[in-house]
Homo-oligomer: A and B are copies of this chain.
């Protein structure tokens, strides 16, 4: 990470590509920055054999033991069918269990195993460390402001989940 900018050896005299129009848009910068953050996170989670989605699901199950798949899909902002394979994987690796709910036999209560909680703790610690490295030099106030702005966008324009 943070190599000394090897950059492309464009043939001499060829001007840099201008993104003057695009750079005015927040969406453009969010995509590019998110790609970086996403790639860094993927690297960080690789030793734990987790991806962003399996990591997110595991953390939410640890923090909310007993929750149902539909609630989790809602919290993760993904469709229920897409959650199935994620839960399958976490269950296969014995990080969580799918327990039948006695009061509603259609639903599953998702619970972390001891191994799941331990892996979760380690992964969260690693992600915390990596994110501070990624954001080193960024003032805490700026970071808070950026997060607040992101939340504002999420909250006000998040799609309905009827």
Contact = CB atoms under 8 A, between A and B. Distances in A.
Nearest to A162: B6
A157 B1 CA distance: 7
A33 B64 contact: no
A81 interface: no
Contacts of A151: 29, 33
A57 to B, nearest CB: 11
| Number of chain A interface residues as a range | 35 or more
Contacts of A143: 26, 149
Contacts of A1: 157
A75 B143 CA distance: 27
A26 B128 CA distance: 10
Given A17-B71, A63-B20, A71-B10, A30 B160 contact: no
Contact of A37 (B5, B21, B30, B41): B30
Interface in A35-62: 35-41, 52, 56, 59-60, 62
A80 to B, nearest CB: 12
A28 B63 CA distance: 15
Interface string A56-95: 1001101110010001101101000000000000000000
Given A36-B154, A142-B145, 12 more contacts: A1-B157, A2-B157, A8-B74, A8-B162, A17-B75, A19-B75, A22-B59, A27-B37, A29-B151, A32-B77, A36-B157, A142-B149
A74 B17 contact: yes
Interface in A98-148: 124, 127-128, 131, 134-135, 137-138, 142-143, 145-147
